[in-house]
Amino acid sequence: METTQERPARLRIGVIGAGRVGSVLGVALSRAGHEVVAASAVSEESVARVERRLPTARILEPARVVEAADLVLLTVPDDALPDLVEGLAGTGVDLRGKILVHASGAHGYGILAPATIAGALPLALHPAMTFTGREEDVERLANCAFGVTSPDQLRPIAEALVVEMGAEPVWIAEDKRTLYHAALAGGANHLVTLVADSASLLSAAGVPEPGRVLAPMLSAALDNALRLGIHGLSGPVLRGDAGTVAGHIEQLRENAPESVASYVELARLTADLAINAGLLKPEDAARLLDVLRR
C-alpha cells in the first residue's frame, strides 16, 4: 500500500500533444484531483479535443506549457519525441523539478536525457491499451496496466500516478522497454489484422455476417490463450492434420494470395510452440512442417 509521502501532491498538468492518448491521460489525472492548466494544440481537431476534454487548459506553445505546469505529458508520436525533448531543452525554459512523462511504449526514460540533464524528472508511463479517439477511451484506461520505467528514486511517484488514474503499474526495466512494446504491438495490432483477415475470408466464402460467426469462437480462444498459454491451442496444427493445412494453403493461393505468407509463418510458429510444449507428436510434426516448407 502506498504511503502518504509517496502520493503526488496536487499538480498542475500540462499536455504537449493533445491527441488520443494525451487527452485521455489528462482527463484521468484531472479526475484524480490534479489540474490541467495548459496544452499545446495545432490542428483544428486537437484544439477541439482540448476544449472538449480539457476545458481548464489554456492553449499555449510547448515551452509555455512547461512553464505553466508541474507535470508535463509529452504525448507525441514515438518518432517525434526525441526532437521535442531536445527542442525543449534547447529553448532555455527552466526544466528544474519539472516532471516530464512520456507515454511511448518503445522508449524508457533515457530518451528524456537532454531534459534530465537540465534538471527535469523523467518518467515513462505507457498505458497498455488501444485508443480509438472515442469517448470510451477514458473509461477503458481504468483497470488497465501501465508499463512503468523511471530512475529508482522516482519509482514511487511514477507508480502512485498510475494508481491515481485507476490503473495497475507494471515495472519494466529500461533495457527491456522495446521488447515489452514489441510484445504488446504484436499481440494487439496483429490480432486486429488477423481478425479482419478472417472476416474477409469468411465473406469470400459466402458468410453474410462474419462477426457473428467469429465472435464466440475468438472470445473463447482469447480466454483460453490468456489462461492457458499454448496449452489453450486447438485446431489442425495441434492435431498434426497436414492434409487440412495443405488444403487451406491451396485455397488461400486461389482466393487470397496476400494471406498465404502470414498463414504459413503463423502455422510454423504455432507448430514450433506446440512441439516445445510436448503437444505435437514428432511424426505428426514432420508431416506438417514438410507441408509448410513446400
Residue labelled with grid coordinates 494487439: 188
Residue 104: the pLDDT is 95
Residue 218: the pLDDT is 96
Residue 261: the pLDDT is 95
* Stretch 216-220: mean pLDDT: 96
Query: In the chain, what are the domain boundaries?
Result: 4-172, 180-293
> What's the whole-number average pLDDT of the chain?
93
Q: pLDDT band at 6, cuts 50/70/90? A: low
> φ, ψ for residue 88 (rounded to 5)?
-65, -45
Measure the CA–CA gap between 121 and 171, rounded to whole angstroms: 17
> Residues 247-275: pLDDT tens digits?
999 999 999 999 999 999 999 999 999 99
- CB-neighbour burial class of residue 176 (10 A; exposed 0-12, middle 13-18, buried 19+): middle
User: 121: Cβ–Cβ under 8 A, 6 or more apart, which residues?
Assistant: 97, 98, 99, 100, 154, 157
Measure the CA–CA gap between 195 and 176, rounded to whole angstroms: 29
∠ at Cα 279 (273, 282), nearest 5°? 90
Which CATH number applies to 180-293? 1.10.1040
Q: pLDDT band at 5, cuts 50/70/90? A: very low
Residue 1: the pLDDT is 40
User: 184: Cβ–Cβ under 8 A, 6 or more apart, which residues?
Assistant: 105, 128
Of 4-13, 37-46, 117-126, where does mean pLDDT reach its minimum? 4-13
Measure the CA–CA gap between 85 and 82, rounded to whole angstroms: 5
* Stretch 224-248: mean pLDDT: 95
Measure the CA–CA gap between 181 and 107, rounded to whole angstroms: 8
Query: Whose CA is closest to 25, among 124, 106, 114?
Result: 124
Residue 143 pLDDT greater than 70, yes or no: yes
Which of the pair, 8 or 29, is modelled with greater confidence? 29
> Residues 67-113: pLDDT tens digits?
999 999 999 999 999 999 999 999 989 999 999 999 999 999 999 99
> φ, ψ for residue 170 (rounded to 5)?
-125, 120
> 253-288: b or e for each residue (b if 16 or more CB lie within 10 Å)?
eeeeeebeeebbeebeebbeebbeeebbeeebbeeb
Which CATH number applies to 4-172? 3.40.50.720
> Residues 172-182: pLDDT tens digits?
999 999 999 99
CB 3 within 8 A of CB 110: no
Residue 8: the pLDDT is 67
Residue 139: the pLDDT is 87
Q: Where are the beta strands (DSSP E) in the chain?
A: 12-16, 35-40, 58-59, 71-74, 99-102, 121-127, 145-149, 168-171
Residue 128 pLDDT greater than 80, yes or no: yes
Q: What is the DSSP letter of 172?
A: -
Residue 52 pLDDT greater than 70, yes or no: yes
Residue 136: the pLDDT is 83
For the chain, what percent of residues have pLDDT higher than 90?
86
Query: Whose CA is closest to 121, among 105, 109, 107, 104?
Result: 109
